Amino acid sequence: MTVEIGHFALILALLVSLVQTIVPAWGARIGEQRLMAVATPAAIATFVLVLISFLMLAEAYVTSDFSVANVWNNSHSAKPFIYRLSGVWGNHEGSLLLWILILVLFGMAVAVFGGYLPASLKANVLSVQGSVALAFLLFIILTSNPFERLDPAPLEGRGLNPILQDPALALHPPLLYAGYVGFSMAFSFAIAALIEGRTDAAWARWVRPWTLAAWMCLTLGIAIGSWWAYYELGWGGWWFWDPVENASFMPWLAGTALLHSAVVMEKRESLKVWTILLAILTFSLSLMGTFLVRSGVLSSVHAFAVDPERGIFILGIMIFFTGGGLALFAARAGALRQGGLFSPISREGALVLNNVLLATATGTVLIGTLYPLALEAVTGAKISVGAPYFNLTFGPLMVPLLLAMPFGSFLGWKRADLKAAGERLLFAAGIALVGAVIALAVVQRGPWAAPLALALGFWVMAGAVSEILFRARFGQAGSAEVMRRMFNLPRSAWGAAWSHFGVGLMVTGIVATTAWQSEKIVALKPGERAEIAGYTLEFRGVQPGRGPNFSEEIGRLVVSRDGQPVTELLPSKRLYDAPRQPTTEAGIHVALSGDLYAILGDAQSDGGHAIRLYFNPLVRFIWLGAVLMFIGGAFSLSDRRLRVGAPRKARKTAAVAAE
Amino acid sequence: MTHAGKWVARWASALALTLALGLPGTALAVQPDEVLPDPRLEARARVISADLRCLVCQNQSIDDSNAPLARDLRLLVRERLNAGDSDKAVLDFVVQRYGDFVLLRPPVNTATLVLWLAPLLLLIGACALAARHMLIGARSDTAGVDDTPLSAEESRRLEKLLKQKG
């Protein structure tokens, strides 16, 4: 019965979102307050209804109700509780429901916290938001109903793909969707601005927290996905330029550009048209990511819905919102007035450079991802565009971006002095050089370009630290004064510094692990040893083990260094009961200098076991960097300027300016 | 596309069947018995393998893949290297058998010219757009001097002062 309630609530949500789409927009058009006011309760009601629907599905999963086709297909009663729960979104229908739940959650957040927005703007934003929800509710109800029943009900479910039976599944999709869907807020605000034909600094100030929140979630979501792949897929890689990864990376790149251009718009009323376009494109890329993953055009492990009908439906949604948004943009963008003159050497100029490079990078990833599909559709020729292409094209684009990053923070608005900024960055440049030399002395092996790339990471990190020190007058004022100034720096300055530092840290990790990873493939009999990166590993044989829904073979490797015991690694091979699929679980020892990573292979004919060992230097910096970016975002989000209520003041000054 | 889809699906189901029957699966990509005794040759094999696509997988190189077909290809690459082929000759040999699809780094030819030039063209386009924006922005800004420029400036300054105080 509960499942029918869920289904019913979903249909009700569809109807309410229809009202939310039409009535407030109509009210805004004819200037009728009461019609506009419908938006708020409608957005709240949609959320409550979708939440009910989601909880009903979750209940079916937790209680293993196999009369529900979706549960039968993707769950098993022997699964641990957490995977029964996270399994709700470990499949096409359920993850789509989660997608919609987060979408309407954002809509409700605007309805509840958006009291400070002008009534017509709020009505239009919620109307656009409602239309997105409407499209996806239609999609789920017509093509991907998670509440379909089976009669008679099977006794046992078919189980969840073992690779997905991991704690990361509880976090990775929700964060990713929060990112994708969060960009719908920027989109809705952009469309509303185009409908009203008006944007100002206040607009940018309203959009920025939503974009920032979405960006933070996407950053963390992608990082968790990368980490998950690293320890689960078993070959020590952390990024594969897989089309599905690219699908999440493109909105991230565009969203990063959007965050930076919105700063220019907020502070200087410049780049308005571009920011609006970027807001539309960022969400379009999110929709495209959804399309690429769901339609099955990529046929990768992520495409749990290889179903052309669904693909065409999502393609329709994507074309409608992207095409509609761009058409509206083409028609109305001319009416937006640009403001804010600036010289190329200025904070604005640096942010424009940021946008130029990030937009190019986004376009490059987009073309690399879609080119094989397009070529095959047009000529029938099949080619592959893989990691080597992206490394060759995307990599060089990041070099000027990283080089320019610290400069940007030191340039003033409107017109700035590059030389003065350079002088303030001498310290950072020195750190970068010294760091590169030290790295070279420590590893003493090629590739010889790696220390230079590493220096780039140090440069960015030291640049971020320099900015904070400079703004706190470090070295000029007394230490008490410096502390006071540091404490009083705007949170957004801290946010930028943390995030930029995170980027530098990530670059360091990427360079170190790419350039200096060691690998050893060996066949060991019990008692035999292997050495890698200064560690000695003694193989102690394989023992059988049994988990809640899998059996496994666990290899034991005793690790020592210079004769001192360090740890034990227990890499294993699992065979899940349902579905009967094997997975490999890496044994990982985390040290400051890097990860020691072991994978257990097959038994060899001579009684030994195949074992693959890696040492991945500084690999943790990659994810740690992403966490710092997230923390930076959180700092920025807590800036009083962006807090709810604070924009009131901005609106008044904007109104004064318009008079 | 559908043809390729079916092909992939067939391979995938064959693989699933192999695993379901409990036949010896391979949990490692490169197996110890594959590794060439000459470390230099082996290193070359690894570099070549990273550029070759595992045809039955999605977007995995044969160096990363556990699939039996990837193993066959890895052995083939090593066989050719042992026979004294240059890196290019090995790649050519594999491409001759499997087509350009096997290359993760697509070759530069008429079909892929746009792909390879795209980043550069995009960069030039983006720079041009930015330059144009700055120039036009400058012009329209001076044209709009009459639009109460003082109040905008004042409000900005006011905002700054307010920010400093609070």
What residues of chain A lie within 8 A of the CB of B33, using their CB? Answer: 523, 604
Q: With pLDDT > 70 as the criterion, what percentage of chain A qualifies?
A: 94
- 3-state SS class at A643: coil
In chain A, where the domains are located:
2-393, 518-620
| pLDDT above 80: residue A23 | yes
Given B27, B59, B111, which is nearest A240 (Cβ)? B59
Q: Give CATH superfamily name and number for B2-102.
A: Cytochrome C biogenesis protein (1.10.8.640)
Which two structure tokens, joined as six digits, stand for A444? 């003493």
Whether the per-residue pLDDT at B156 is higher than 80: the answer is: no
Query: So what's the ipTM on this one?
Result: 0.85
Q: At what angle do helices A243-268 and A167-196 cross, to 10 degrees?
A: 40
Task: Quote the CA–CA distance of A381 and B114 in Å, as a whole number.
Answer: 15
Q: What band does A644 get if pLDDT is binned at 50, 70 and 90? A: very low
Q: What pLDDT is stored for residue B8 in this prediction?
A: 38
Q: Do B137 and A270 touch (CB under 8 A)?
A: yes
**DSSP code for B120:** H
Q: Could you read off the pLDDT of A551-560 as tens digits, one per residue? A: 999 999 999 9
Residue A658: how many other CB atoms lie within 10 Å: 12
Task: Report DSSP state, residue A299.
Answer: -
Q: What is the pLDDT of residue B10?
A: 38
Closest approach of B65 to chain A, Cα-based (Å): 9
Do A582 and B112 lie within an 8 Å CB cutoff? Answer: no
Distance between CA B162 and CA A56 in Å, rounded?
Answer: 50
Strands (E), A1-46: none
**B49 touches B77 (CB < 8 A):** yes
Checking if the pLDDT of A227 tops 60, the result is yes
Residue type, B83: A
Q: For A386-401, what is the mean pLDDT?
A: 94
Question: Higher-confidence residue: A159 or B23?
Answer: A159
Flag whether pLDDT at A655 surpasses 90: no
Radius of gyration in angstroms for the set of CA atoms belonging to chain B, rounded to a whole number = 29
CB contact under 8 A, A573 and B53: no
**Searching chain B, which residue's CA lies closest to the CA of residue A605?**
B33
DSSP collapsed to 3 states, A327-363: HHHHHHHHHCCCCCCCCCCCHHHHHHHHHHHHHHHHH
What DSSP letter does each residue of A491-525 carry, written as one string?
HHHHHHHHHHHHHHHHHHHHHHHHHH-EEEEEEE-
* Nearest-10 Cα torsion for A213, A216, A218, A224: -140
Q: Is the pLDDT at B159 greater than 50, yes or no?
A: yes
Contact A382 B29 (CB under 8 A): no
Mean pLDDT of A375-396: 89
Contacts of A655 (CB under 8 A, 6+ apart): none
Q: What is the mean pLDDT of residues A264-280?
A: 88
C-beta separation of A448 from A439 below 8 A:
no
The pLDDT tens digits of the residues spanning A495-528 come to: 999 999 999 999 999 999 999 999 888 999 999 9
Cis peptide before A579 (omega within 30 of 0): yes
pLDDT tens, A407-462? Answer: 998 988 888 888 888 888 999 999 999 999 998 888 877 788 899 999 999 999 99
Distance of alpha carbon B53 from alpha carbon A579, whole angstroms = 27
Chain A segment 369-428 residues within 8 A of B by beta carbon are 371, 375-377, 379, 381-389, 392-394, 397
| Mean pLDDT within A29-41 | 92
Q: Is the pLDDT of residue B2 over 60?
A: no
**CA distance, residue B4 to nearest chain A CA (Å):** 10
> Which of A167-171, A357-361, B113-117 has the weakest average pLDDT?
A167-171
Res A147: pLDDT = 93
pLDDT value, residue A656: 39
Extract the tokens encoding B58: 């999605």
pLDDT attached to residue A306:
53
Q: Where do the H-state alpha helices sit in A380-478?
A: 387-410, 418-424, 426-443, 450-471
For the sheet with A518-524, list strands across it. A518-524, A609-617, A594-603, A587-591
Q: Is 60 exceeded by the pLDDT of residue A381? A: yes
Q: What angle (nearest 5°) sits at the alpha carbon of residue A256, between those of residues A253 and A258?
A: 110
> Cα distance from A376 to chain B (closest Cα, Å)?
8
pLDDT of residue B13: 38
How confident is the model over B113-126, as a mean pLDDT?
94
CB A321, CB A135: distance < 8 Å: yes
Per-residue pLDDT band at B89 (split at 50, 70, 90): very high
**Are A436 and A508 contacting, i.e. CB atoms less than 8 angstroms apart?**
no
Q: Choose the mutation target among A356, A391, A600, A643 for the interface with B, i.e. most B CBs under 10 Å.
A: A356
| Rounded CA separation A64/A197 (Å) | 52
Range in A180-194, A241-255, A290-304 the model is least confident about = A290-304
The Cα A130–Cα B109 span in angstroms is 47
Q: Mean per-residue pLDDT for A474-488?
A: 85
Which tokens is A590 given?
Answer: 């985390």
Residue-wise pLDDT for A299-333, tens only, equals 544 444 456 677 788 889 999 999 999 999 999 88
Q: How far is the C-alpha of A45 from the C-alpha of A101, rounded, in Å? A: 12
The tokens for B75 are 């052995």
pLDDT tens per residue across span A56-75: 999 999 999 899 998 998 88
Query: Among the residues of B24-110, which ranges form H helices?
Result: 39-50, 68-82, 87-98
The residues, any chain, with a CB within 8 Å of residue A55's CB and separated by 6 or more, are A6
Rounded CA-CA distance B7/A508 in Å is: 41
Look up residue A108 and give its amino acid.
M
A567: which strand partners? A559
Residue for token digits 């930028």? A496
DSSP reduced 3-state for B60: coil
Domain residue limits, chain B: 2-102, 113-165
CA–CA separation, A2 and A147 (whole Å) = 10
H or E stretch at A148 = none
* Token pair recorded at residue A607: 């009684």
Quick one: average pLDDT of A552-572?
93
Q: Is the bond preceding A447 in cis, omega lying within 30 degrees of 0?
A: yes
CA pair distance B45, B87, nearest whole angstrom: 8
CA B43 – CA B40 distance, rounded (Å): 5
Torsion of CA A345, A346, A350, A352, to 10 degrees: -90
Residue B165 in tokens = 């105080």
Query: For residue A224, what pLDDT is reported?
Result: 94
Pairwise CB contact (< 8 Å): B155 & A653: yes
> CA angle, corner A72, sides to A71 and A74, nearest 5?
65
| Per-window interface: A 265-304 vs B, CB < 8 A | 269-271, 274, 296-301
SS3 A429: helix
Q: Report the DSSP beta bridge partners of residue B53.
A: B61
Using pLDDT thresholds of 50, 70 and 90, give the confidence band for residue B165.
Answer: low
- The Cα–Cα gap between A585 and A424 comes to 48
Q: What's the pTM?
A: 0.88
